[in-house]
Structure 1
Amino acid sequence: MRVAATATRREFRTWRDGRPFWAGLFTFAAGLPIIYFPYAHLKFGAIPLALSTSAGAGSLIIGVLLVALAVSLWFHQQARVFAGIAVILLALVSFPVANFGGLLIGLTSGLIGGSLACAWIPPTAAAESQPAANPASTTIPAGEDHGGT
């Protein structure tokens, strides 16, 4: 049982490292409060708090788009820059439309998720752009002259 759990964790870690996982997770977490708060009936003690507004449809559209962009970040990494910019724009639009961006929870999470999506670099490109592992092999020994005057 423990070996299967270890193998599953290793497979998940490999899957997670090959895509902007945290960007998708923050984006997914941004969509949920934006969808939830306009339709929730909250109570603080004996005080009912209704956040239902005429912008409920706008909140639903923004929240569903954020969840869809999160899934696309996980399964279609080539669209990460487009998805990141779209997430940032939707998060900013959610501030006036969707109860201050899901009480600032969705707004903040969306801005973080969109920024992470734009900044993420695929692992193969990241490995190629790093300098050589052995810097001593690329230096010129001190006593040699290579065509200089």
Structure 2
Amino acid sequence: MLLSRRRWRRWRRGRPFWGGLFTALAGAWICVLPLAPLKIMLQQGVAGIPSVLMGAVMIVLGLTAWFSPAQRVLAGVLTTLIATAALVLSNLGGFLIGTLLGILGGGLMFAWQPYAAPRSTAPSPEPSPQPEPSPSASSTASPTSPVHHDPQGAQP
């Protein structure tokens, strides 16, 4: 039990989980609303087709964020655009709930960064003295500046 909880936590933290969840919920809300009874609907007919399509695409984008975290930026931007378009094209974006969940999910996906390993607290050995560069030589990186090897640009 404890092992599965650790695996779940590790999987969840390794991807934009909450952004994908909010996006999938927004897509489900927008997609299911046109199938509701006519008393609940604001508008039926032509608005039903885009609603189902936009909802399905948002569900796929939420799953994309979970299973392909490298595509999170594109998925986040597309989710935000579709959620905003759903406001006009799909029964006020699922009575505003779908639009708000979609914008929140898209923002969370876009802003998520991969976890960077913490810096080691062990003192590093003293570097050998380097000759000082001449004032005419301009360099932007100093020898003591930290180097990050994360291709996504996450900062520790």
The two structures share one fold, judged by TM-score above 0.5: yes
SS of equivalent residue, structure 2 residue 40: strand
Residue in 2 aligned with 1:50?
41
- Is 1:22 matched up with 2:22? no
Q: Cα distance, 1:37 vs. partner?
A: 1.1
Q: Cα distance, 1:54 vs. partner?
A: 1.6
Higher helix share: 1
SS of equivalent residue, structure 1 residue 49: coil
**How far, CA to CA, are the matches of 1:24 and 1:49 in structure 2?**
27
Amino acid aligned to 2:40:
L
- Is 1:70 matched up with 2:62? yes
**How far, CA to CA, are the matches of 1:63 and 1:117 in structure 2?**
17
Structure 2: any 5+ residue segments left out of the alignment? 125-131, 133-156
Alpha-carbon RMSD across the aligned residues, in angstroms, is 2.0
**How far, CA to CA, are the matches of 1:66 and 1:49 in structure 2?**
22
Aligned partner of 2:101 among 109, 114, 117: 109
SS of equivalent residue, structure 1 residue 122: coil
Q: Cα distance, 1:53 vs. partner?
A: 3.4
What does 1:114-125 correspond to in 2, within 5 Å? Answer: 114-123=106-115
**How far, CA to CA, are the matches of 2:91 and 2:100 in structure 1?**
13
Q: Cα distance, 1:133 vs. partner?
A: 5.8
Structure 1: any 5+ residue segments left out of the alignment? 43-47, 139-146
Higher strand share: 1
Residue in 1 aligned with 2:32?
36
**How far, CA to CA, are the matches of 1:82 and 1:50 in structure 2?**
31
Residue in 1 aligned with 2:7?
11
- How many matched pairs? 124
**How far, CA to CA, are the matches of 1:20 and 1:50 in structure 2?**
33
**How far, CA to CA, are the matches of 1:115 and 1:108 in structure 2?**
11
Aligned partner of 1:60 among 18, 28, 52: 52
Deviation >4 Å, runs of 4+:
none
TM-score (norm 2): 0.72
Q: Aligned residues: percent identity? A: 40
Contact 2:41/2:91, CA 8 A, preserved across alignment: no
TM-score (norm 1): 0.76
